[in-house]
Structure 1
Amino acid sequence: MVNINVKWGKEKLAVDVDVAEPPLVFKSQLFALTGVAPDRQKVVIKGRTLGDDSWSGVTLSEGMLVMMMGSAAEIPQAIVQNANGEDSMDTSEGKPVKLPAGLKNLGNTCYMNSVLQSFMSLDVIRDAVGKYSPPANGAGPAMRVTQSVKSTFNELAIPSRANSADDAVLPLAMMQTLHSVMPQFATRSPQGQLQQQDANECFTEMQRLVLDGLKGIEGSTKTADFFRGSYAVTLKNSESEEEPEVKSTEEFYQLSCFLSQEVRYIQTGIKEKLSEEIEKNSPLLGRECKYTKKALINRLPAYLSIQMVRFFFKQSAAVNAKILKDVKFPMTLDLFDLCTPELQEKLRGNRDAFKTMEDAKIEKMRQAKQEGKDVKKAETEEIEKEENEIPFSFEDDPGSNNHGFYDLQAVITHKGRSSDSGHYVAWVRIKGDQWAMCDDDEVHAVNSEQILKLSGGGDWHCAYVLVYGPRKAYKVDAPAASAEVASENLNSATVAME
């Protein structure tokens, strides 16, 4: 291992280089530090340009200065429009929307690729990571992972990357950072091949590290607040009326849906876990007692991930076997019933905006049908405009959800029979009814109907992690009834009076 200094523009970077590895690994280290992809780097050592495969003719010495040239790509603020329509889908306005770029599989790294694609689809993470600049005095695990995620996002943002599988991003630096920071993801088979890992474990660990990494550069409103929910918990001793009830608050960054025999819908699976029986020592009775633990949500996060608990350890086969059960999940999720009465009261007023908005859409569709216009286009035309958007967080609690409604943004699926085998795929929403199936370097257009078929029940792709974002409400005037509708209402009233 040789420690050298790399001069990149005005920056000077200290890098440890293992010359036993090909130069591409060194370039991947530079990619993680600077965001400049290996194929955009020009590394010059004593007048010689460094290739990707061999150190031939190049000798590194301790503390030597190496020059690097190249610029990093920027993360776009919105989906890039596809000028030629290749590999794209039509929007409601008739303009094509470009599909995301793919990520190459480096050997059972589909779990990591699916997590990165789901993160990239969330504007709150994409925007925050795009602004990230690591502190000069820090290189901890959270900062390293956040910087690697930023570099990968930069690569995914390059327009030409979305053209074909051949142009997919090689996430080598991201994988190396992940393995370095979390060695549990670097395990290999006896044959030396990387082993499959649990995508939800990767999702929760990377989310934790990225949110921690961002905290160091953010003000009072932190990205973590957009993913942090909390429960109001009560604990009651079922064997003693004298022992007082204990109340507490617990934070969560993900909900779990347990797939018992009775569960057919995701809301039921989440609700079942909110009331459970546990055993613990009773301070009053001085022995183990059964307690009833009940929880209700007292803070809803703006963004919510839900794990479908599909895997359990099967003793006979010594594997994490999979539950293939079909459990339905909605495109729009309502968590109002899982909240405390106090939070429900706060949510109630903000929910009226959705009824007004839906009524306005129905009226516009009805009018469009009468006038022979495009009904689907009329549904959102002049309503879902950015300037009309109503804030989804409480004014005194940035990052919260102030109405309880969520729209599905991304799904990570698993195909196979155990968590340490099979294949993971990310399905991400582009816009409206338009989705993309991100199967490593292969990316295809799909729609909402195909997404809802991922509920399980067989060997097809089964939803494992669901990611919801806040449903957007828009200011609209309450729709005025047309003369025809008013006439019908008047006639109905007259008949009723007679």
Structure 2
Amino acid sequence: MSKDNTSITLQVYFNGSPHTITVNADDNVSAVCTAVSPFVGVNPDALCVLSETWVGALSHSSPLKCFRIHNNTRLYCFGSNGVAAVMRAEVNETTDGLDEKGLLKEEVVASGVENIGNTCFFGAALQCLFRCTVLRTVLLYMLPARSLEHCDLFVRALTSSFHILDKKQTTVNPKELLTLFGTLHPSLIRPQLGGYTMQDAQETLSQILNDLSLALPVSSLGVMNTAGHLAKDYLELRNAMLSSLENGRAENSVVDCLFNMKIEYHTDEIGSRPDSTDSKYFLSINLTDKCYSLLDQLDKEMGEEEITINGEQHKRISRFSFLPPYLFIVINRFLWEEQAQRRLKINRRFTFPFTIDLYRYCSAGLQASLDSLATEPEGKPASTIGSADYSLVSVIAHHGLSADSGHYITFSRIKDNLWAKLNDANVTEVTADDIEALAGGSPTFVAYVLLYEYTAIGL
């Protein structure tokens, strides 16, 4: 087998500082460590290498091509001569063998959350939040040593749970976390014989976000490693963007920076100023008679909607004026049935895409900002039209007749097209077809909460 002598140029970040190195495309990862060592003053063997093309630490003895590393791939190194390169809880080292093509085999690397008696709603919310990479980095590596002003014990317990989820094929026992969350919200966490009273997973997720919003202002964060440096820079940028908006606060929380979306509303026609605005963490989508897909319903709700004002018919036009890095979409499958005195479920088919571009639903000002960021591959002219592309990373699904009964599980994208079904403590690999089947239309698990990630996050 002939050796590929093609040289490739890589950007390697160490403690937030970039270093440009050149290696052979057929080299092992150890060649990267050797090349970057003189720049950072750390022994090559003490360096841990991460790549934007792979989940987990790169084995020094494996070829670069196994991790899909090519020209201009961005790598991240950390480590020191005095301590181990990386703790087990920081990254999941990949030790899989090579497949018949010489590439590392991919497998589901995920951990479950025990169900300790009707607590699937809590585990599903936890698993969905864990898929938010920047939030995960904040909790694992950036919490201040001093006590937080709000919800300190709960946030520390949540961090401990995230450390366990970050390990390879382990299980979280949520007892302590549930107890602390119940202290904060006794109406949500109600012990009963043999477990707890079933609750709505989306309401639980919403309350966790509210708690974290109070507990984690961006200014409170520390930095422990390269991932923390990158996340801190990103959050400070998002904080500045939020602060620059009309009526923006000087100090924003991590949750605001990651999940807050702003929508403006116009009546009859789009004017220079909106009639009203709204700020929220969840975009609620109604199931109407004539819409059977998320895209159709977005066209309806973010287009011209008939409304009545003082007895007169008008059109309301909605537009995003600010989009978050992580977009929660709630499919409103539950309605209140007065006679039954409970929320019943709409189980009909409602499809959703793996990727979605929200550009056409954005305000003129936001579109102009996106246009300024539009780029094309090297050698081609820049596009004049931007995009607001999001990719699906997690789905909370429900099986049963009511939001307060049945069973919740989470489906999460682990890597590229590799998906996992996270059913309490059980973790199994599933296909894209299994995710599409969550559209509903049959008495099985159906999508309830969708989590999309902005594709240009770059972290």
TM-score (norm 1): 0.60
Match of 1:443 in 2: 427
Kindly provide the amino acid, as one letter, of the partner of residue 217 in structure 1: S
Q: Find the aligned partners of 2:443 and 2:121 in 1 and give their Cα distance.
A: 18
Kindly provide the amino acid, as one letter, of the partner of residue 199 in structure 2: Q
Does residue 432 (structure 1) correspond to residue 416 (structure 2)? The answer is: yes
Tell me whether 306-315 or 293-302 shows the greater mean CA deviation: 293-302
Alignment RMSD (CA, Å): 3.4
Does residue 228 (structure 1) correspond to residue 260 (structure 2)? The answer is: yes
Match of 1:258 in 2: 286
Q: Percent of aligned pairs with the same residue?
A: 25
Match of 1:345 in 2: 368
Kindly provide the amino acid, as one letter, of the partner of residue 370 in structure 2: L
Note closer, same or farther for the CA distance 1:185–1:150 as it changes in structure 2 (3 Å cut). same
- Give the conservation status (yes or no) of the 8 Å contact 1:91–1:431: no
Question: Deviation per CA, 1:56-77, whole angstroms, max 9, x where unpaired?
Answer: xxxxxxxxxxxxxxxxx96855
2:94 pairs, out of 81, 89, 98, with: 81
Q: Find the aligned partners of 2:184 and 2:314 in 1 and give their Cα distance.
A: 39
1:154 pairs, out of 163, 177, 189, with: 163
- Give the conservation status (yes or no) of the 8 Å contact 2:90–2:166: no
- Give the conservation status (yes or no) of the 8 Å contact 1:254–1:307: yes
Kindly provide the amino acid, as one letter, of the partner of residue 425 in structure 1: I
Q: Find the aligned partners of 1:231 and 1:110 in 2 and give their Cα distance.
A: 32
Say which SS state the counterpart of residue 112 (structure 2) adopts.
coil
Does residue 118 (structure 1) correspond to residue 128 (structure 2)? The answer is: yes
Q: Tell me by how many angstroms 1:273 deviates.
A: 3.2
Say which SS state the counterpart of residue 203 (structure 2) adopts.
helix
- Give the conservation status (yes or no) of the 8 Å contact 1:305–1:466: yes
Match of 2:335 in 1: 312
Question: Deviation per CA, 1:187-223, whole angstroms, max 9, x where unpaired?
Answer: 356x675211101111111122223322161474453
Give the number of the structure whose alpha-carbon radius of gyration is greater.
Answer: 1
Q: Tell me by how many angstroms 1:185 deviates.
A: 1.4
Match of 2:441 in 1: 457
Say which SS state the counterpart of residue 210 (structure 1) adopts.
helix
Question: How does 1:205-216 map onto structure 2 within 5 Å?
Answer: 205-215=207-217
Match of 2:106 in 1: 96
Say which SS state the counterpart of residue 436 (structure 1) adopts.
strand
- Give the conservation status (yes or no) of the 8 Å contact 1:146–1:214: no
Q: Find the aligned partners of 1:473 and 1:137 in 2 and give their Cα distance.
A: 30
Say which SS state the counterpart of residue 294 (structure 1) adopts.
strand
Q: Tell me by how many angstroms 1:403 deviates.
A: 2.9
TM-score (norm 2): 0.65
Q: Find the aligned partners of 2:204 and 2:101 in 1 and give their Cα distance.
A: 33
* Runs of 5+ unmatched residues, structure 2: 1-85, 222-231, 240-252, 381-385
- Give the conservation status (yes or no) of the 8 Å contact 2:329–2:449: yes
Q: Find the aligned partners of 1:103 and 1:187 in 2 and give their Cα distance.
A: 19
Does residue 407 (structure 1) correspond to residue 391 (structure 2)? The answer is: yes
Kindly provide the amino acid, as one letter, of the partner of residue 114 in structure 1: A
* Runs of 5+ unmatched residues, structure 1: 1-72, 238-243, 283-287, 360-401, 475-498
Question: How does 1:45-194 map onto structure 2 within 5 Å?
Answer: 76-83=89-96, 93-133=103-143, 136=146, 138=148, 140-141=150-151, 143-159=152-168, 162=169, 168-187=171-190, 193-194=195-196
Q: Find the aligned partners of 2:307 and 2:186 in 1 and give their Cα distance.
A: 33
Kindly provide the amino acid, as one letter, of the partner of residue 445 in structure 1: E
**Structure ranking higher on relative contact order (CA contacts 8 Å, 6+ apart):** 1
Match of 1:471 in 2: 455
Kindly provide the amino acid, as one letter, of the partner of residue 446 in structure 1: V
Question: Deviation per CA, 1:91-138, whole angstroms, max 9, x where unpaired?
Answer: 994333452111110111111101111111221110011134356454
Q: Find the aligned partners of 1:206 and 1:74 in 2 and give their Cα distance.
A: 27
Q: Find the aligned partners of 2:163 and 2:101 in 1 and give their Cα distance.
A: 25
Kindly provide the amino acid, as one letter, of the partner of residue 119 in structure 1: L
Question: Deviation per CA, 1:229-248, whole angstroms, max 9, x where unpaired?
Answer: 111222469xxxxxx99623
Q: Find the aligned partners of 1:468 and 1:91 in 2 and give their Cα distance.
A: 32
1:201 pairs, out of 195, 200, 203, with: 203
Note closer, same or farther for the CA distance 1:92–1:147 as it changes in structure 2 (3 Å cut). farther
What is the number of equivalent residue pairs in this alignment? 335
Question: How does 1:7-46 map onto structure 2 within 5 Å?
Answer: none
Question: Deviation per CA, 1:327-346, whole angstroms, max 9, x where unpaired?
Answer: 11111111112112332233
Note closer, same or farther for the CA distance 1:351–1:417 as it changes in structure 2 (3 Å cut). farther
Note closer, same or farther for the CA distance 1:204–1:100 as it changes in structure 2 (3 Å cut). same
Kindly provide the amino acid, as one letter, of the partner of residue 216 in structure 2: L
Q: Find the aligned partners of 1:106 and 1:173 in 2 and give their Cα distance.
A: 11
Question: How does 1:212-291 map onto structure 2 within 5 Å?
Answer: 212-215=214-217, 217-218=220-221, 220=236, 221=239, 223=254, 224-235=256-267, 247-274=275-302, 275-276=304-305
Match of 1:387 in 2: none
